[in-house]
Structure 1
Amino acid sequence: STVKLSTVNCQLSTVNYQLSTVNYQLSTVNYQLSTVNCQLSLSAGRV
C-alpha cells in the first residue's frame, strides 16, 4: 500500500506543478492586461 500511496502522491505533485505553471501564465497575462488597461486609462485621461 505504501507504493500505491507514493504513486498517488507523485501524480498529485505532477498535477500541482502543472496547475502552478498555468497559474503563473495566467498571472502574467493578467499583469499584461492590467498594464494595457492602465495605458488606455492614461490615454483616455489626456483626451
Structure 2
Amino acid sequence: MCGVNKNNLAVLYNQGVDRMKQPFTTICEKIAEWLPRLLVVLIKLLIVK
C-alpha cells in the first residue's frame, strides 16, 4: 500500500459503495412499483377461487 494515503482509500471505498448501492436502489424502486400490482392480482385470484 505504498503511496496510498487514507483519504484516497476512503474516496475509493465510498465510490465503490455508491456503485454497489445504485443497482440495489433501482431494484428496490422496481419492486416498490410492482408490489401493489402483484398484490392486486393475488387478491383477485383469491376472490375468484
Question: TM-score normalised by the shorter chain: which range applies?
Answer: 0.5 to 0.7
Could you list the runs of 5+ residues in structure 1 that have no partner in the other structure?
none
Q: CA RMSD in A?
A: 2.2
Q: Tell me the alpha carbon deviations over residues 1-47 of structure 1, each in whole angstroms, 9 at most, x when there is no partner.
A: 78522111101111111222222111112212322220111221332
* Aligned pairs, number: 47
Q: Distance in 2 between matches of 1:27 and 1:2?
A: 39
Runs of at least 4 residues off by over 3 Å: none
- Name the structure where helix makes up a greater proportion of residues: 1
- Unaligned 5+ segments in structure 2 are none
